[in-house]
Amino acid sequence: MFEASSLNRKNLRNERLVKASLGLMTGLLILPVVLILSTLLYKGGPVISFEFLFASPTNGMTAGGIFPALLGTILLVLVALIASVPLGVAAAIYLSEYAPDNWFTRAINLAIINLAGVPSIVHALFGVGAFVIFFKFGTSILAASLTLAIMTLPVVIVATRESLQAVPQAFREACWNMGATRWQTIRRVVLPNAITGILTGVILEVSRTSGETAPIMFTGAAFFLPLLPQGVLDQTMALSLHLFVVSTQVPDMPEELPYGVALVLISIVLIMNSLSIALRMYLRGRKKW
């Protein structure tokens, strides 16, 4: 009764073939990640030490540590966050909670999507034109961070808007029916339930910002500085640019040093990503509806 016809057998064979090859492709995805991480750990791991993290480079950057670059990356990311988070969250709240659905709002949404697609080198040149030259910030932490902020604004806006829209509409309507204004509703019911999602977006922004090179190259990150920056109008070193410099620009560079820099950089990104995943899991566990 259930004997397989030749057509059945062919289908079964195809099914096994397709399943196996799709699985293989998926398995291949892990390969680059594993290779990159293991190479970095193997070659760069021994370099990492307290001194490497907290001392300045010496001997034309061929020895010593990476502290100015590490500090510079942290500063750049912090200032970028201070600029982009309030702006992005405000824009997302407006778009999600206030804006009527008309051509203008749709145009703004389209602009945000396109902003996310602008290549980072174009952002860099915009940053030079706008912040370095027009606003006369010079090549500085401020100019570089603002460039990074504009580049990552779409990430903040989209993450915030999505977490706002995940809050059920019925909650808003219940509040409005009680005589709450839109802002009262947002502050008391919508934002408290969206805040973890917004934080997740912000952390992802940090991980993306910390690795960017092009936008800061011409706007505030320096090849080498003997001193730490004293304020936001100073230039700074940065990990991503430092990695580029020690890998390609310095003769007689010990082979393992660039791997150490790369390992620190990728660790920052991975730590931030894990934080965001942990936060999301925490959020799911605490879901209130």
Partner 1 sequence: MVAVAEPTAVNKLEVDRLTIRYGDHVALEDVSFEVRENEVFGIIGPANSGKTSFLKTINRMDMFDSNMSFEGAIRFNGVDVSRVRNVYGLRRRIGVVFPLPVGLPLSIYDNVALAPRLAGQKNRAELDIIVERCLRRAALWDEVKDRLHSLGSMLSGGQQQRLTIARALSQEPELLMLDEFSIAVDPVTTMRIEDVLRELKKEITIILVTNLVQQARRLADRTAFFLEGRCLDVAPTEELFTGTVSDPRTRDYVEGRFG
Which residues are near partner 1 by CB under 8 A?
100-101, 170-171, 173-181, 184, 188-189, 192-193, 288-289
Rounded CA-CA distance 56/69 in Å is: 9
CB of 271 vs partner 1, minimal distance in Å: 30
CB of 169 vs partner 1, minimal distance in Å: 10
C-alpha 267 chain-centroid distance: 13
Q: In this structure, are residues 149 and 80 in contact, taking their beta carbons and an 8 Å threshold? A: yes
> Residue length, the chain?
289
Nearest to partner 1 of 5, 177 (CB atom): 177
Nearest to partner 1 of 10, 188 (CB atom): 188
Nearest to partner 1 of 98, 135 (CB atom): 98
Nearest to partner 1 of 133, 174 (CB atom): 174
CB of 98 vs partner 1, minimal distance in Å: 11
Copy the structure tokens of residue 281: 């899991």
Give Cβ neighbours of residue 86 (< 8 Å, ≥ 6 apart): none
Nearest to partner 1 of 38, 184 (CB atom): 184
CB of 26 vs partner 1, minimal distance in Å: 37
CB of 174 vs partner 1, minimal distance in Å: 4
Give Cβ neighbours of residue 112 (< 8 Å, ≥ 6 apart): 153, 154, 157, 158
Q: What φ, ψ does residue 221 adopt, rounded to 5°?
A: -90, 135
